[in-house]
């Protein structure tokens, strides 16, 4: 297992696990696997950024990654 | 000109002249657009095209700076034009009571040096971006939900909104603003950053949010600039 840091934004905070700052996932978990584990439907996020950079669903997480999960925001 | 004396020397006289010769289209005149219009008129952008088909209602009063109790029921585009004329009569201002669509987007965007996206619909944002790319005009896009704001500056050759919202055809949840509402200070915060990006594009100066999304979460007090490419 590895520890990552999770930040969920806006309505996605409802999916925040108990200890988001030290969330444990299996080694080689992908972003897609992480979303499944958290129970976040794919249509609720189109922007996942890791250590300040956008990544796709096939990105494999590494120890210490800072993961941001961001929803579609369209208000004006 | 004395009215711009406090713009100097943050802006040079040459830059002030450049702004006076610039044409900006502001699409959407709600929480974001109202703030953007106010700031661009005051700083001295010479020509503004303003479009929104909505009329003010009482739910706008919590955040939209152009709305007043007396203006409920009044077209936002007319209120925006009147505000610009009251603030800076040197600005050439044109307003349109109507919504951006496939029939008018190319004409509106084609006359501008820069377009500012203050819309409240993700689908219409894509329509606007397409028109800007066809016309070769840069776009500054802002969006808000609750205490969350985002800003990106898109040049015609940049990938743009797909990096933020996913492929336009992809299944996407509705914008979270429907659940979270919109607060006054968040709207004006994002509007200020859009105005700042606009001025930098027009003056070809400073750091821009190209291929980067600024995400501000005012409740968490977090500010991220995400590299999108």
Segment B5-26 shows an average pLDDT of: 97
Closest alpha carbon within chain B to A52:
B226
Span B17-37, pLDDT tens digits: 999 999 999 999 999 999 999
Span B42-66, pLDDT tens digits: 999 999 999 999 999 999 999 999 9
- Answer whether B146 touches A (CB < 8 Å): yes
Task: Inform me whether the pLDDT recorded for B92 exceeds 80.
Answer: yes
CB contact under 8 A, A76 and B179: no
B223, exposed or middle or buried, with CB in 10 Å at 0-12, 13-18, 19+? exposed
Instruction: Report helix, strand and coil shares of chain A as percent, to nearest 5.
Output: 25, 35, 40
Biggest CA–CA distance in chain B, Å, is 53
* Nearby residues of A61 by Cβ (< 8 Å), 6 or more positions away: A2, A4, A25, A28, A29, A30, A31, A34, A50, A67
B-chain residues near A10 (CB < 8 A): 145-146, 148, 176, 180
Domain that holds residue B26: 2-227
- Total of domains in chain B: 1
Say how many residues make up chain B: 229
CA A3 from centroid of its chain's CA atoms: 13
Q: In 3D, which of A43, A30, A42 has the Cα closest to residue A4?
A: A30
Tokens of A34: 């992480």
CB contact under 8 A, A52 and B226: yes
pLDDT of residue B165: 95
Element (H, E) at B185: helix B184-203
Span B68-79, pLDDT tens digits: 999 999 999 999
Ramachandran bin of A52, using left for φ above 0, alpha for ψ from -120 to 50, beta for the remaining angles: left
Span B121-165, pLDDT tens digits: 999 999 999 999 999 999 999 999 999 999 999 999 999 999 999
CB contact under 8 A, B164 and A46: yes
Tokens of B217: 């979460």
> Could you report the predicted ipTM of this complex, rounded to two decimals?
0.95
pLDDT of residue B102: 96
Across chain B, the runs of DSSP E, i.e. the strands, are 23-27, 47-51, 92-96, 114-117, 139-145, 148-154, 212-217, 222-227
pLDDT of residue B169: 80
CATH number, domain of B70, equals 3.40.50.720
CB contact under 8 A, B143 and A52: no
CB contact under 8 A, B215 and A70: yes
Q: In 3D, which of B146, B136, B152 has the Cα closest to residue B224?
A: B152
B-chain residues near A46 (CB < 8 A): 164-166, 170, 172
Residues 96-125 of B with CB under 8 A from A: 118-122, 125
pLDDT of residue B178: 85
């Amino acid at each position: 297992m590895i520890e990552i840091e999770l930040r969920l934004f806006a309505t996605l905070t409802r999916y925040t696990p108990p200890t988001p700052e030290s969330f444990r996932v299996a080694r080689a978990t992908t972003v897609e696997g992480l979303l499944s584990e958290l129970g976040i439907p794919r249509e609720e996020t189109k922007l996942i950024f890791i250590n300040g950079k956008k990544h796709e669903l096939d990105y494999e997480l590494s120890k210490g990654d800072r993961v941001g999960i961001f929803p579609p925001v369209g208000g004006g | 000109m004395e009215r711009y004396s406090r713009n100097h020397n943050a802006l040079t006289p040459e830059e002030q002249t450049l702004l006076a010769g610039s044409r900006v289209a502001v699409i959407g005149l709600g929480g974001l657009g109202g703030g953007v219009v106010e700031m661009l008129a005051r700083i001295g952008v010479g020509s503004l095209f303003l479009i929104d088909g909505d009329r003010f209602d009482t739910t706008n009063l919590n955040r939209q700076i152009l709305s007043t109790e007396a203006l409920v029921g009044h077209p936002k585009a007319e209120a925006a034009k009147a505000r610009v004329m009251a603030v800076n009569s040197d600005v050439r201002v044109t307003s349109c009571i109507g919504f951006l669509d496939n029939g008018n987007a190319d004409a509106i965007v084609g006359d501008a040096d820069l377009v500012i996206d203050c819309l409240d619909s993700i689908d219409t944002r894509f329509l606007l971006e397409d028109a800007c790319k066809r016309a070769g005009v840069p776009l500054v896009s802002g969006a808000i939900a609750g205490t969350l704001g985002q800003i990106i500056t898109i040049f015609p050759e940049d990938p743009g909104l797909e990096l933020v919202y996913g492929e336009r055809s992809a299944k996407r949840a509705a914008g979270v603003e429907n659940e979270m509402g919109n607060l006054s200070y968040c709207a004006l915060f994002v509007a200020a950053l859009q105005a700042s990006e606009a001025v930098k594009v027009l003056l070809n100066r400073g750091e821009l949010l190209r291929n980067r999304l600024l995400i501000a979460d005012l409740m968490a007090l977090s500010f991220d600039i995400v590299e999108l490419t």
